[in-house]
């Protein structure tokens, strides 16, 4: 029996306007099994919305323990990087957690393992908690190179990790993101167990046992319980199914009851 609390995070990607948030919040709160403050005593919960929704969401969910997460940030603190957002800018509005290396950033914005490593390093230097996303493509899995790929993504991301750093890993197989085809509980558990072994090799057994590893990829109310009941799955990063308040709440209810 591990002591890791479940962490349920929505990733809204480039969805939802600020004007959608009141309806979302109402449906979300109505569908939770108990008031949000009580839920947050049992599981960690949050959302990564667009940058423009971050402050609105902070106001909408003031409950202690709610995670308001940025979807990305530049590794430089300041500079001539038109269109980018820096970690100090996020800090200024109270954000302390960032998704780093999401597969869509890697795929559409050419974020290499090296860039991901620099972003993670910048997070550690500036007191941010990165949620580090890793995942293999279908081609890589078919070639039986999934573990090798995940291991090198993790090692590159954490190459400048000072002892005691706070971070979360999200395993998101690229073939499962937005496809409707989630990894089976067995596939996900096997990879999570492997990731924990890599983390143990890097930081020692006692650190690895305390780190949270989330699963992401086509999770929904119907499949979340089985995934969350696996011993090394400590929560979920939820894309499409987090856009509807009722659906996200039902998934969180499952996390409370597993
Ligand atoms: C994601 O983008 O992080 C994700 C897991 O998406 P989906 O749940 O829609 O597959």
Residue ID of nearest Cα to ligand 1 atom 4: 239
205 given a catalytic annotation: no
Ligand 1 centroid–CA 179 distance in Å is: 9
Torsion angle of C-alpha atoms 203, 207, 209, 213, degrees rounded to 10: -80
Q: Inform me whether the pLDDT recorded for 1 exceeds 60.
A: no
Single out the residue of 107, 109, 90, 111 nearest to residue 48, CA to CA.
90
- pTM of this structure: 0.97
Q: Which tokens sit at 52?
A: 């423009």
- Closest atom of ligand 1 to 11 CA is 3
- Closest atom of ligand 1 to 133 CA is 3
Q: What is the pLDDT of residues 63-97, one digit of tens each?
A: 999 999 999 999 999 999 999 999 999 999 999 99
Ligand 1 centroid–CA 49 distance in Å is: 13
Answer for the pair 144, 190: CB distance below 8 angstroms, yes or no. no
Residue 225 to residues 59, 86, 180, 196, Cα–Cα distance (Å): 30, 36, 16, 21
The residue count for the chain: 258
Q: Which tokens sit at 226?
A: 């089985």
Residue ID of nearest Cα to ligand 1 atom 3: 239
pLDDT value of residue 3: 82
Pocket (CB within 6 angstroms of ligand 1): 11, 172, 177-178, 216-219, 237-241
91 given a catalytic annotation: no
Q: What is the pLDDT of residues 153-204, one digit of tens each?
A: 999 999 999 999 999 999 999 999 999 999 999 999 999 999 999 999 999 9
Q: How many other C-beta atoms lie within 10 A of the C-beta of residue 147? A: 17
- Exactly one of 74, 102, 111, 136 is catalytic; which is it? 102
Mean pLDDT of the chain: 97
């Amino acid at each position: 029996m591990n002591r890791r609390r479940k962490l349920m995070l929505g990733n809204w990607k480039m969805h939802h306007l600020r004007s959608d948030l009141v309806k979302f919040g109402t449906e979300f709160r109505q569908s939770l099994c108990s008031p949000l403050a009580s839920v947050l005593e049992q599981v960690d919960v949050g959302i990564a919305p667009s940058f423009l929704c971050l402050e609105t969401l902070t106001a909408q969910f003031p409950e202690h323990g709610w995670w308001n997460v940025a979807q990305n940030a530049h590794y430089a603190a300041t500079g001539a990087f038109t269109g980018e957002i820096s970690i100090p800018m996020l800090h200024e509005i109270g954000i302390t957690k960032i998704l780093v290396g999401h597969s869509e950033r890697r795929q559409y914005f050419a974020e290499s393992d090296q860039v991901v490593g620099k972003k993670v390093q910048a997070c550690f230097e500036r007191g941010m908690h990165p949620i580090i996303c890793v995942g293999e493509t279908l081609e890589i899995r078919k070639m039986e190179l999934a573990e090798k790929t995940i291991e090198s993504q993790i090692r590159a991301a954490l190459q400048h990790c000072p002892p005691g750093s706070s971070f979360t890993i999200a395993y998101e197989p690229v073939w499962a993101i937005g496809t409707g085809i989630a990894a089976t509980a067995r596939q996900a558990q096997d990879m999570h167990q492997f990731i924990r072994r890599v983390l143990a090799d890097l930081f020692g057994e006692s650190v690895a046992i305390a780190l949270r590893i989330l699963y992401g990829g086509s999770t929904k109310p119907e499949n979340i319980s089985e995934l969350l009941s696996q011993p090394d799955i400590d929560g979920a990063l939820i894309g499409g199914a987090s856009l509807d308040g009722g659906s996200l709440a039902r998934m969180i209810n499952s996390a409370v009851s597993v």
